[in-house]
Structure 1
Amino acid sequence: MKSLNVPNQRAVIDRRALADAIHALVEDQGEKARGQIVQLLREALENGRAEIARRLTEKPSAGHECTGAQAFLIDQLVRVVHDHVTEHVYPVANRSSAERLTLIAVGGYGRAEMAPHSDVDIAFITPTRRAPWCEQVIEAMLYYLWDLGLKVGHSSRTVDDTMRMAREDLTIRTALLEGRFIWGDRALYDETSRRFWAEVAKGSERQFLTQKLEERNQRHKRMGDSRYVVEPNVKDGKGGLRDLQTLYWIGKYMHRVRSAAELVDVGLFTRAEYRSFRRAEGFLLAVRCHMHIITGRAEDRLTFDLQREVAARMNFADRPGKSAVERFMQFYFLQARRVGSLTGVFLSHLDDEFANKRARTGFFAGWSQKSRMLKGYRVFAGKIAAPSDDWFRKDPVRLIEVFQLAEANSLEIHPETMRLADRDSALIKSDVREDARANALFLDLLAGRNDPETVLRWMNDAGVFGRFVPDFGRVNAQMQFDMYHHYTVDEHTIRAIGLLNRIEKGELVSDHPRSTRLIHRVNSRRAIYVAVLLHDIAKGRGGDHSVLGAEVAHELCPRFGLNDNETDLVAWLVRQHLLMSATAFKRDLTDPKTIEDFVSQVQSLERLRNLMILTAVDIRAVGPGTWNSWKGQLLGELYDAAQERLRLGHMRHGREQRVAAKREAVAERLGSRAPLVAQVGKLLDDSYWIAEPEDVIARNLVQYEVAREIEEHLSIHCEFDEERGATLVSVIAADHPGLFYRIAGGIALAGANIIDARIHTARSGWAVDNFLVQDPLGKPFREGQQIERLKKSIADALANRIELVPKLAARPLPHTRAGAFDVAPRVTFDNNASNRFTVIEVNARDRPALLNRLARALFESNLVVQSAHITAYGERAADTFYVTDLTGDKVTAAVRLAEIEARLLDAGSDRRQRQLEEA
C-alpha cells in the first residue's frame, strides 16, 4: 500500500468530523437525510479542492503534493461513503463469508497521482460468490459519488473474474498493477494482490513489455510522434506523463518495485537519473493540475490560450527577447526531452536484461555475437559503445567523435554510452569547441550522407549538441508562440537538416524536383548544411533573427572550418533566408520589377541555387501540410525567372515575345479550338497573357466563348487543380466596382480561403477573374457538393441575393485558437516594388472573410485591384494588393495614403470583427 504523505491533512478534509456529522443527520432524520448528506459531502469536496488549489498557488510547481492531496481527498470521501452505506443504508449484523467487499484504487488514482478533475477509478472486488448485499452496497456508493459530480470509472468483479480478465486484457492488467487498498476487507485485497502476481504477472514479463511499448508507439503516432509539438498533450503526448508512467509500469512488472525510487535499487536508473525522473514528473503533474483548475474540467492538451495562463500561475516572467509563455514552454520541452532520454536508457537496460536471459539452444548454444573495434570503440549488435567509464573524460573530443562514427557507419549508440555522454557533456568547454579535429568531426556529422537527422537528435538529447554549439543550446526546446510553427526551434532545425539529406539522396524528387537537381550543382554541400543549421539560430534574442543570425554565422563558420567564400555565402543565406518565400508568396511574379528587385539582392546563380534549397526545407520543416504544390510552383516560377535574368543579364524575351510565345502554347493546348486565341484573346491585354499560366488561359478562353454563346451574364467555373493543390475558381462577369470584394465574400461564405487572386478586365468590359481556393485545412474543394456550394455562394453574392456583411459576421472562426494571440493589424505601402502599381501589404489576425473586408475597404477607397496575393502564417494573414486609383495611376499623396491605411486598419481590426458580429 502506498502511503499518502499529505501535510496538514485535516485542512484538506476531516474524515472523522464529516462521518460524525453524517451520523448525527441519520440519527435525527433517518432515510430523509440523504439530500443533506450529499450536500455535506459536496461541501467537503469543494472545500478540499479549494484548499489544494490554494496550496498549488503558494507552491506552483508542487505537482506531487497537489496530486497526492487530491487522491487523499477522494480516499477520505470514498471511505466516508462506504461506512455510511454499510452502517446506515444496508447494515448487516453478521455478514457471511460471501458478504465481503474490498475497494481498490486503480490507474492514476491508484498511483495517488490525481489532478483535480481526474477520473476516480475504483475496482470493487468481491469473493468468489457475489452476494446481493455487495451489489446493493456498490450501487448505493456509486450513486453517492455520481451525485458529487465525480466521474467514476468502476468495475465490479469476483477475484476469479478479475484474474481471468487481467490475463486477457492489457488495460485491466495495467490498472491492477497500480492497485492500492482504499477501504473494506483488507484480507480480500491481500488475496487479490497475491494472486495477481502469482497467476497473472509471473512468466508474462516479456509479453507485457512488448505490448506496452507497442501501445506507447501507437499513442505517439496519434499525438503527432514528436515531443516538440507546440500544443502538447501533457498526459498522452510524447515525453508526457504517460511515458513516465510506462517506465514505472514496466519496471514494476519486471522487478516488483513498489515505487519509482526502487528503480534505482534494481539498477535501472542512477540516483541522478531518478532525481531527473522525479523533477520532470513533478513539473508535468503541476502543469496538468493548473490546467484542470483553470478549465474546471479534465483538460490534458496544453493549448495556446492555456499556455499563457499556466505560465503566469507558475510565475514565469518576461525576459528581453523572450516572453513568459515562451520561457515556460521552453522549460516544458526540456522536461519532455529529459523524459525521452530516460526512456531510452531504461528500455535499453531491460533489453540487455532479456538478451542475457534468453537461452540459446541447438547449434547456437554457448555462442555470443563477437564485437569488433572501431577507433577504440566496441561495436556489437549494431551499436557503438565506449570501452570504459572514463573514455570521454580522457579526451572530451570523443563526445563529438562517437556521434560522427555512429552516423558514418549507420550505428546506434549504446544507451550506456548515451548515459556517459549525457553525464560528461559538461566537459565540453571552450578548448573543445575551438579544437580543429572536433569541428571537423562535427561538420562531417552535420553533412553526413546516411542519417544526420537522427544522430543530431541523439546528440541533442544527450546535451552534447548545445554544449558544443552554445548558440544552438540557446534555442534548445524554444517554442515559437504562434500557430504557424509546429515544432520548437531546435526540432525544426534538425528536421530541416533531415529533409536536406533526403533531398540530396533523391528521396523527395516528386515534391522537390528542382531542389533535388540543384543540390548536386552547388559549389559547397557543407555550406548549405551549415546554412540550414544556422538559419534560425538567433531566434528569441529580441531583434531581427535574420540579421543576428548572420552575425553568428560569421563567428561560427570559420570555427567549423569553412573558408571565407563559404562563410560569406552562409552568412548571406541566413540573413536572406526569408527573401525568396516573401517574394514568391507576397509579390506579383509577372511584374518585371519584382524579378529585378529580387535579382538585385541575390546577385549570383550560386546564391540563388542555395537559397532555393534552403527555402524549400525551411518551409517543409515547419510542420505537416505546410509545404504544398502551390508554394512549390510559385517558388519555381521565381527561381526560373531569376535564373534567366542572372544568366543572361536580362530577361531572355521581351514583353511582345513572351505574349506571342504564350499565345502559341495556348493555341497548341486548345487543339481544334485554337481560333479562340485570336477571337477571344484579342480582348485581353498583354498583362493578362503574362500573368496567367497557359492551362488557365485555355480554360478562360473556352469559358468566355461558351458564356457569350448562351448569353450568360455570369459564368462561374470551379475545377479541382491537382497540380496546384487547390481549386481554381474562374468568374466571368460584367465588370463593375465592388466585383472583387463580392466574389471574395461569396467564396468565404462557402467556407473557402483564397490563396491567390488575379483580376483582369477585357476590352469588352467583362471581368475575367481567377482565384485559387482551399478549405480551412489547406485542402482543395474537390467533391461535387463542395463545388456546387462554392458556385451558388458566389452567384448569390454577385446577384445581391444575400446580405454579405451579417452573413459573414455570423460565420464561426475556423481557427478558434487564433484568439490566443495578439496580432495588431499593420499596413505598409510600397511605390517602388512595381513600375505600374502601388503595392499594399496588410498584416492582420486571420479570420473568415478578412479578404472580403479588406477588398471592400479598397473599393470604398476608390482603388482598382489588379492582383491579390494571400499568405497565411498560422493565426496571421499577410495579404498583398497591387492597386491603382480610378485613373490607372499609382497612389502617392500622403493624405490619400493615410485615408486608405485608416480604412484597412479598421477592416482588419478585432474591434471591427466584434462590431460586425454584434450587428
Structure 2
Amino acid sequence: MESIRDQRAIIDRRKLAAALSDIAAVKLDATAERAAVLVALRTVLAAGREEIRRRFDASADGRAVARETCFLVDQLIRTLYDFTAIHVYPVANPSAAEHVAIVAVGGYGRGEMAPHSDVDLLFLLPYKLTPSTEQVVEYILYRLWDLGLKVGHATRSIDDCMRQAKGDMTIRTSLLEARFLAGKPALFQEMRSRFQKEIVTGSGPDFVEAKLAERDERHRRMGDSRYALEPNIKEGKGGLRDLHTLFWIAKYLYRVDDVAVLIDRGVLTRKEVKIFEKAQTFLWTLRCHLHYLTARAEERLTFDVQAEISRRMGYTDHAGTKGVERLMKHYFLIAKSVGNLTRIFCAMLEAEHQRKPLFRLPTLGLLRREIEGFGFDNGRLTVPDAQTFTADPVNLLRLFHVAQRYELDIHPAALRLVTQHLKLVNRQLRADPEANRLFVEMLTSPKGPEATLRRLNEAGIFGRFIPDFGRVVAQMQYDMYHHYTVDEHTIFAIGILHRIEQGVLKDEVPIASHAVHKVLSRRVLYLAVLLHDIAKGRGGDHSELGARVAQKLCPRLGLSDEETETVAWLVRHHLLMSNSAFKRDIDDPKTIADFADQVQSLERLRLLLVLTVADIRAVGPKTWNGWKAALLRELYYRTEEQLSGGLVTEGREARVAAAIAALTAELPDWSDAERAAHIARGYPSYWLSFDATTHARHARQVQAAEAAGEMLSINVQIDLWRAVTEVTVYTPDQPGLFSRLAGAFAISGANIVDARIFTLANGMALDSFWVQDDEGRAFDRLERLTRLKATVARVLAGGPGPMAELERRKPAFPSRLAVFKVAPRVLIDNRASNSHTVIEVNGRDRKGLLHQLTWALTDLNLQISSAKISTYGERAVDVFYVKDLFGLKVENEIKLKAIRARLIEVLEEPAAEASSAAKAAKDTAAAE
C-alpha cells in the first residue's frame, strides 16, 4: 500500500483520467479541447517531475529516478491512449485490423529513463495501418510532442518487426527489451512469442558477436580509453552502454530480466553481480546529476560540470586531493570494474557455448599443452584451478611473466581466478625475492612491458604488489594539460621508453634513441619512469615524495644502493630538464652551467633526457612537438659538451669575434664596407645569441630594408623539423614594441613560444619570434602568414590597440575551460642569469595575456631581452629576461615588489570570466 501511495505522489492515473473525461464531457471544439487536454497533461507531468527531483535531492538514488521517470511516462501514455480511444476517436466495434498495441522499446522498454531521455515507442499493428488507427497514433504523438517529450517512434506490423529484426541488430535489440504499455495485449504477446521462436532461437552466438563488435566500434569512436578527461558516461568505454550490452547478451541467451538470475545459472558470482549493480547505481546517479544540472540529455562529463557534480555528490577536498579528482577517480575505477565484468562474462560464454575466442588469439601459436606449469585453453594461457595460486602465490605474478615471455594471451577464466585471489598479494608476497625478480623482469622485458603492465593493472595485481602505485590508479589530475590518469600516463610512458629503446621512434627522437643505449643500467631507467609520478595526489612536492618512495621500494625490488640513489635522484629531478629547456634561456651560459651543476654526470644527463622525452610524450597525443624536441636537444648537447670538458671557455670578446668571423664567411658577396657597417649595428649580446646562418639572414633582411627605405620589414622562416616558424621584425624601436607585436600575433592566431628582442646601434629593433599554430605545429599556411604580416603592419602603424580587437573577438560566453582556477604566481630570480633579472609568470591562459604582461613590463620601464612562452593546458608559464632602463639587473626591493604586484594584477584580470563560468552551473540549477 505504501508503494502505491508513493507512486500516486508522482502521478495519479485515476485523477488524470477523470480530469480528461471532464474535458471531453464539456463538448469543446477540437482546438479548445486539445488545449485543455495539453494543460492537464503538462500540469501532471511537471508535478511528477518535480516530485521525482525532490526525492532525488533527498536520496541521490539515480536508479530510482530512472524507474520513477519511466513510471511517470508510462501512466501518462496509458491515460492518453485510453482518452484517445474512448473520447477522441472511438470505434464501437473495432475489427481485428483496427487493433493496436503501444510498446515501449529501447531503454524505455527496459524500464530506465534519465530525466531528459527520449521516449521510444512502437505502435504495433496486426496488419497494415488503417485510417482509424492512424488517427489514434497521430493524436497521441502530437500530444506527446506538445508536451516537449522527445519521442522516437515506429509503426509496424508484427510481420514487419520479424522481417526487420532478422537483418538489423539495432531493431532486434530494441524488440528484445520491448514492454507492453497500452492497447491490445494479445498483439504484444504474439510479437514476443514469434520473436523468441523466429529470431532468438539458434541465433545466440551471432547476436553475441554482433553486439561485441558493435561495442568495439563504439569504443573506437569514443577514443577507446576508459580514462578520457571528459568521458561520455553512457557511450564511453566502461560506461552504461557496456552494462547494457552485458544485459542484452544475458537476456538473449538466458532469457532473464534480472542480472541477479545469472548467479543461479553459474555465469556470474554473487560478488560480480554486486559489482554490476554498484556500477549501474553509480553511473545512473551520475547521469541524473548531469541531466539535472545541464537541463538537457547531456552524457559527457565535461570540465565545466565536474566540480559542481562532485560537490552535489558529496566529494570533498582532503589529503591533497580535490573533491572533483576524487569523483573522477571513483568514475574511472567503476569504468575499470565494468571492463573486468565484460572479460569475465565473455569467458563464461566461451566455456558454455564452446565458441571461438571472443578476444584476439595469441601472436605465437603453440601446439604444446603445458608450459612452465600453466596450461592452454583455446590457445591462451590458463590455470587448472585455484590451487595454482593458493599453493604458491608467486604464480599470480608468474602467470603474467610466462604470458609476456611467450607472447601469449591469458584466458579470461584465469584472470577471473586472479581477481578472486587478490588477497594473496600481501606483505609476505611483496617481500618475496622471486616475486620481485619476476616483476622487474616484466617491467624491463625486451618483449615490451606496456601490455603486461596494463594487464597487471586491470587485474588489480599491480596496485596491490606496489601499494604506492595503487594509490595513483585512476588518479585524475584536474587540468587541461594531462590527458590520462596517473597510472595510465605511467604505463604509456613505460611503453614509449620501450619504443625508444627499440628504435621505433628514432626519426622523432633521434638523440634519446641514441642516448638510451649508452646508459649503464636499464633497470634504473625503467624504475625511474615507473616512479616519476608515483606520489601525485598526496599534497606537497610529488617529486620529493616520490624520491622517498624510490629509496624505500628499490631495495625491495633488488636494486643496489647505487641504483637506488640514481632512481631517487631521477624521480626528484624528473622535471629539471624540461623546466630548464622550456623556461630558461639556454643561450645564456649560466643556464647551462646551473643545469650541469645539478646533473653532474653524463650518465645522469642521458637518463634524464630519455626520462623527460618519455614523460612528455606520454602526457597526451599533441603534447610533444618539434619545438620542444629542439630545445631539449640543444640543452642536451650543450650540457654534454660542458660535462665532457669541451665547452668553449674563452672570454666574451673572443666569442663575439668568432661569431663575427663566421658571419663574414657567410657573406662573401658583400663588400668590406657593407660588412663593417652591419657589424657596427650589433651589440655583443646579439652576436652571442644566434648562429652564423641566422646572422647572415638577418643581415640580408636589414640591408634590403635599408636600401628600400622601409620602416618595417618582416621575414618568415618555416622550420618543419622543429615544428616552428621564425618571424623576424625589423622596425624602429619604440616603447611597448614587444607588447604590440605580441598582441598582433594573438589577433592572427599565432602562439609565441620563444622570443629574442634586440635594439641595434642605429635605433632599429630586430626582434625574432618563434610561433606555432593552436595544434603545436609550424605556423605555415600562406593565407595566415599574409594576415599576420598585415596585422603587424596595422598595429605598428598606430591602428586600434590589440586589446581592443581581442576584446571585440572574445566569445559571447565564457569558455568551459574557464572553470579551471590557476593561482597567479610571479617568481623573480636574480641568480638564474649573470646579466638579467628573470621573471617567471604563472596564470590561467587567455587570448592576449602575453600582450598584457609585456605591456605591464614596458610600463614599469623594463627592457625585455628575451622571453620563453609555454602553455600547459589551461596554465600559461611565461618567462622574461629583463633589465632596467640602465641595462642592469633589477635589484631594488621596492621596484621588485611593484613588478610583482603589477603582474599579479594582470593575471587576476579575468577573474570575472572564471567566476561566471563556475557560476553557470549554479544559475542553471536555480533556473530549474
Q: Please indicate, yes or no, whether the TM-score normalized by the shorter chain is above 0.5.
A: yes
* Residue 449 of structure 1 pairs with residue 446 of structure 2: yes
Structure 1 contact 385–413 (Cα < 8 Å) conserved: yes
Is 704-713 or 584-593 further displaced after alignment? 704-713
1:106 Cα deviation from its structure 2 partner: 1.6
The alpha-carbon distance between structure 1 residues 253 and 647, as it changes in their structure 2 partners (threshold 3 A), is same
**Separation in structure 2 between the aligned mates of residue 343 and residue 542 of structure 1, nearest angstrom:** 35
**Separation in structure 2 between the aligned mates of residue 671 and residue 511 of structure 1, nearest angstrom:** 36
Structure 2 contact 625–777 (Cα < 8 Å) conserved: no
Partner of 2:907: 908
The alpha-carbon distance between structure 1 residues 101 and 738, as it changes in their structure 2 partners (threshold 3 A), is same
Please tell me the residue identity of whatever aligns with 2:7: Q
The alpha-carbon distance between structure 1 residues 678 and 235, as it changes in their structure 2 partners (threshold 3 A), is farther
| Matched position secondary structure for 2:421 | helix
* Residue 498 of structure 1 pairs with residue 501 of structure 2: no
Partner of 1:871: 870
Partner of 1:769: 767
Partner of 1:326: 325
- The partner residue of 1:582 within 574, 579, 584 is 579
1:822-901 equivalences under 5 Å are 822-901=821-900
Structure 2 contact 739–851 (Cα < 8 Å) conserved: yes
Is 811-820 or 618-627 further displaced after alignment? 811-820
1:696 Cα deviation from its structure 2 partner: 4.4
1:649-660 equivalences under 5 Å are 650-651=647-648, 655=652
- The partner residue of 1:561 within 552, 558, 565 is 558
1:915 Cα deviation from its structure 2 partner: 12
TM (normalized to structure 1)? 0.94
Please tell me the residue identity of whatever aligns with 1:717: N
Partner of 2:783: 785
Partner of 1:601: 598
1:536 Cα deviation from its structure 2 partner: 0.7
**Separation in structure 1 between the aligned mates of residue 682 and residue 490 of structure 2, nearest angstrom:** 46
1:679 Cα deviation from its structure 2 partner: 6.1
The alpha-carbon distance between structure 1 residues 238 and 376, as it changes in their structure 2 partners (threshold 3 A), is same
The alpha-carbon distance between structure 1 residues 616 and 66, as it changes in their structure 2 partners (threshold 3 A), is same
Is 800-809 or 615-624 further displaced after alignment? 800-809
Structure 2 contact 238–338 (Cα < 8 Å) conserved: yes
* Residue 620 of structure 1 pairs with residue 617 of structure 2: yes
Partner of 2:541: 544
Structure 1 contact 389–420 (Cα < 8 Å) conserved: yes
Please tell me the residue identity of whatever aligns with 1:85: T
1:686-725 equivalences under 5 Å are 686-692=684-690, 696-725=694-723
Partner of 2:125: 126
Structure 2 contact 820–914 (Cα < 8 Å) conserved: no
**Separation in structure 2 between the aligned mates of residue 694 and residue 242 of structure 1, nearest angstrom:** 61
Partner of 2:588: 591
**Separation in structure 2 between the aligned mates of residue 513 and residue 494 of structure 1, nearest angstrom:** 22
Q: Deviations over 1:105-129 (max 9, x none)?
A: 2222122221101111112222222
Partner of 2:43: 43
Structure 1 contact 839–881 (Cα < 8 Å) conserved: yes
1:717 Cα deviation from its structure 2 partner: 3.2
Q: Deviations over 1:85-105 (max 9, x none)?
A: 222221111111111211222
1:301-320 equivalences under 5 Å are 301-320=300-319
- The partner residue of 1:732 within 730, 733, 750 is 730
Q: Deviations over 1:637-691 (max 9, x none)?
A: 1111111111117446765665566667767778868998766455333433433
1:338-349 equivalences under 5 Å are 338-349=337-348
The alpha-carbon distance between structure 1 residues 773 and 106, as it changes in their structure 2 partners (threshold 3 A), is farther
**Separation in structure 1 between the aligned mates of residue 220 and residue 130 of structure 2, nearest angstrom:** 45
| Matched position secondary structure for 1:10 | helix
Q: Which runs of 5+ in 1 are unaligned?
A: 359-367
Partner of 2:15: 17
The alpha-carbon distance between structure 1 residues 552 and 79, as it changes in their structure 2 partners (threshold 3 A), is same
| Matched position secondary structure for 1:98 | helix
Is 690-699 or 635-644 further displaced after alignment? 690-699
1:255-266 equivalences under 5 Å are 255-266=254-265
C-alpha RMSD over aligned residues: 2.5
Q: Deviations over 1:833-882 (max 9, x none)?
A: 00000000111111111000001100110111011111111111111000
| Matched position secondary structure for 1:267 | coil
* Residue 475 of structure 1 pairs with residue 472 of structure 2: yes
Partner of 2:240: 241
| Matched position secondary structure for 1:413 | coil
**Separation in structure 1 between the aligned mates of residue 899 and residue 261 of structure 2, nearest angstrom:** 70
Partner of 2:744: 746
- The partner residue of 1:519 within 504, 516, 520 is 516
Partner of 2:107: 108
| Matched position secondary structure for 2:563 | helix
Is 161-170 or 75-84 further displaced after alignment? 161-170
Structure 1 contact 167–173 (Cα < 8 Å) conserved: yes
| Matched position secondary structure for 2:863 | strand
| Matched position secondary structure for 2:301 | coil
Structure 1 contact 805–916 (Cα < 8 Å) conserved: no
Please tell me the residue identity of whatever aligns with 2:133: C
Is 156-165 or 584-593 further displaced after alignment? 156-165
Q: Deviations over 1:589-608 (max 9, x none)?
A: 00011111111111111111
Please tell me the residue identity of whatever aligns with 2:132: W
Partner of 2:52: 52
Please tell me the residue identity of whatever aligns with 2:174: A
1:609 Cα deviation from its structure 2 partner: 0.7
1:422 Cα deviation from its structure 2 partner: 0.6
Structure 1 contact 480–489 (Cα < 8 Å) conserved: yes
**Separation in structure 2 between the aligned mates of residue 656 and residue 500 of structure 1, nearest angstrom:** 43
Partner of 1:28: 26
Please tell me the residue identity of whatever aligns with 2:580: T
The alpha-carbon distance between structure 1 residues 737 and 28, as it changes in their structure 2 partners (threshold 3 A), is same
Give aligned pairs, total. 904
**Separation in structure 2 between the aligned mates of residue 829 and residue 547 of structure 1, nearest angstrom:** 23
Partner of 1:363: none
1:63-82 equivalences under 5 Å are 63-82=62-81
| Matched position secondary structure for 1:74 | helix
The alpha-carbon distance between structure 1 residues 370 and 591, as it changes in their structure 2 partners (threshold 3 A), is closer
Is 676-685 or 109-118 further displaced after alignment? 676-685
Is 62-71 or 568-577 further displaced after alignment? 62-71
Is 671-680 or 34-43 further displaced after alignment? 671-680
Is 315-324 or 214-223 further displaced after alignment? 214-223
Partner of 2:921: none
Structure 2 contact 350–356 (Cα < 8 Å) conserved: no
The alpha-carbon distance between structure 1 residues 185 and 523, as it changes in their structure 2 partners (threshold 3 A), is same
1:7 Cα deviation from its structure 2 partner: 8.3
* Residue 181 of structure 1 pairs with residue 180 of structure 2: yes
**Separation in structure 2 between the aligned mates of residue 443 and residue 500 of structure 1, nearest angstrom:** 15
Please tell me the residue identity of whatever aligns with 1:24: D
1:139 Cα deviation from its structure 2 partner: 1.4
Question: Percent identity over the alignment?
Answer: 50
Partner of 1:220: 219
**Separation in structure 1 between the aligned mates of residue 105 and residue 656 of structure 2, nearest angstrom:** 75
Structure 2 contact 304–817 (Cα < 8 Å) conserved: no
**Separation in structure 1 between the aligned mates of residue 665 and residue 720 of structure 2, nearest angstrom:** 21
Partner of 1:379: 376
Structure 2 contact 818–913 (Cα < 8 Å) conserved: no
**Separation in structure 2 between the aligned mates of residue 714 and residue 342 of structure 1, nearest angstrom:** 67
1:268 Cα deviation from its structure 2 partner: 3.1
**Separation in structure 2 between the aligned mates of residue 732 and residue 6 of structure 1, nearest angstrom:** 82
**Separation in structure 2 between the aligned mates of residue 835 and residue 6 of structure 1, nearest angstrom:** 82
Q: Which runs of 5+ in 2 are unaligned?
A: 358-364, 917-928
**Separation in structure 1 between the aligned mates of residue 692 and residue 117 of structure 2, nearest angstrom:** 60
The alpha-carbon distance between structure 1 residues 681 and 403, as it changes in their structure 2 partners (threshold 3 A), is farther
Partner of 2:634: 637
The alpha-carbon distance between structure 1 residues 509 and 27, as it changes in their structure 2 partners (threshold 3 A), is same
Please tell me the residue identity of whatever aligns with 2:731: A
**Separation in structure 2 between the aligned mates of residue 149 and residue 758 of structure 1, nearest angstrom:** 60
1:333 Cα deviation from its structure 2 partner: 0.8
